[in-house]
Chains A and B, each alone.
Chain A
Amino acid sequence: MGVMRIGHISIKVMDLAAAVKHYENVIGMKTTHIDAQGNVYLKCWDEWDKFSLILTPSEQAGMHHVAYKVEHDADLDVLKKRIEQYGIKTSMLDEQALPFVGRMLTFNLPSGHEMRLYAKKEYVGTAVGALNPDPWPDDLRGAGAHWLDHCLLMCEMNPEKGINKVAENTTFMMEVLDFYLSEQVMVGPDQNIQAATWLFRSSTPHDIAFVAGPRQGLHHFAFFLDSWHDVLKAADIMAKNKVRIDVAPTRHGITRGETIYFFDPSGNRNETFAGLGYLAQPDRPVTTWGEEFLGRAIFYHTGELNAAFTEVYT
Chain B
Amino acid sequence: MRLLQTGETYVCNSDESLLQGMAKIGKKGIPVGCLNGGCGVCKIVIRSGSVTKTGAMSRAHISEQEETQGVVLACRVAPSADVELEVIGHMKKMLMRSQCVEMP
- A residues engaging B (CB < 8 A)? 14-15, 59-62, 244, 246, 263-269, 307-308, 311-314
CA distance A132 to B8 in the complex (A): 66
- The 14 sampled A-B contact pairs (Cβ below 8 Å) are A60-B59, A61-B37, A244-B36, A264-B36, A265-B36, A266-B36, A267-B34, A267-B35, A268-B34, A312-B31, A312-B33, A313-B39, A314-B34, A314-B39
Contact of A15 among B41, B55, B59, B94 (CB under 8 A): B55
| Nearest opposing residue in chain B for A59, CB measure | B59
Contact of A314 among B35, B38, B55, B57 (CB under 8 A): B38
B residues less than 8 Å from A59 (CB atoms): 56, 58-59
A residues less than 8 Å from B36 (CB atoms): 61, 244, 263-267
Closest approach, in angstroms, between the C-beta of B16 and any C-beta of chain A? 13
B90, A311: Cβ atoms under 8 Å? yes
Which B17-72 residues have C-beta < 8 A from chain A?
31-39, 41, 55-61
B residues less than 8 Å from A62 (CB atoms): 38, 58, 60
B32, A308: Cβ atoms under 8 Å? yes
CA distance A263 to B57 in the complex (A): 15
**Max chain A CB contacts within 10 Å: which of B31, B34, B35, B56?**
B34
B residues less than 8 Å from A311 (CB atoms): 31, 33, 41, 90
Task: Given A15-B55, A311-B41, A311-B90, verify A61-B60 contact (CB < 8 Å).
Answer: yes
| Nearest opposing residue in chain B for A266, CB measure | B38
CA distance A15 to B53 in the complex (A): 14
Pick the 9 closest A-B CB pairs, nearest first.
A267-B38, A267-B34, A61-B38, A14-B56, A312-B33, A267-B36, A59-B59, A60-B58, A60-B60
B residues less than 8 Å from A268 (CB atoms): 34, 38
A267, B31: Cβ atoms under 8 Å? no
A residues less than 8 Å from B38 (CB atoms): 14, 60-62, 263, 266-268, 314
A269, B90: Cβ atoms under 8 Å? no
| Total interface residues in chain B, CB < 8 Å | 19
B59, A269: Cβ atoms under 8 Å? no
CA distance A61 to B37 in the complex (A): 8
CA distance A307 to B56 in the complex (A): 24
B residues less than 8 Å from A314 (CB atoms): 34, 38-39, 58, 60
A residues less than 8 Å from B56 (CB atoms): 14-15, 59, 266
B41, A312: Cβ atoms under 8 Å? yes
CA distance A308 to B30 in the complex (A): 11
Closest approach, in angstroms, between the C-beta of A64 and any C-beta of chain B? 13
B residues less than 8 Å from A15 (CB atoms): 55-56
Contact of A61 among B31, B39, B41, B90 (CB under 8 A): B39
**Given contacts A60-B59, A267-B38, A267-B39, could you give 4 more A-B pairs where the C-beta distance is less than 8 Å?**
A14-B37, A61-B37, A267-B34, A312-B41
A312, B34: Cβ atoms under 8 Å? yes
Closest approach, in angstroms, between the C-beta of A55 and any C-beta of chain B? 13
Closest approach, in angstroms, between the C-beta of A12 and any C-beta of chain B? 9
A266, B37: Cβ atoms under 8 Å? yes
A residues less than 8 Å from B35 (CB atoms): 244, 263, 267
Closest approach, in angstroms, between the C-beta of A191 and any C-beta of chain B? 24
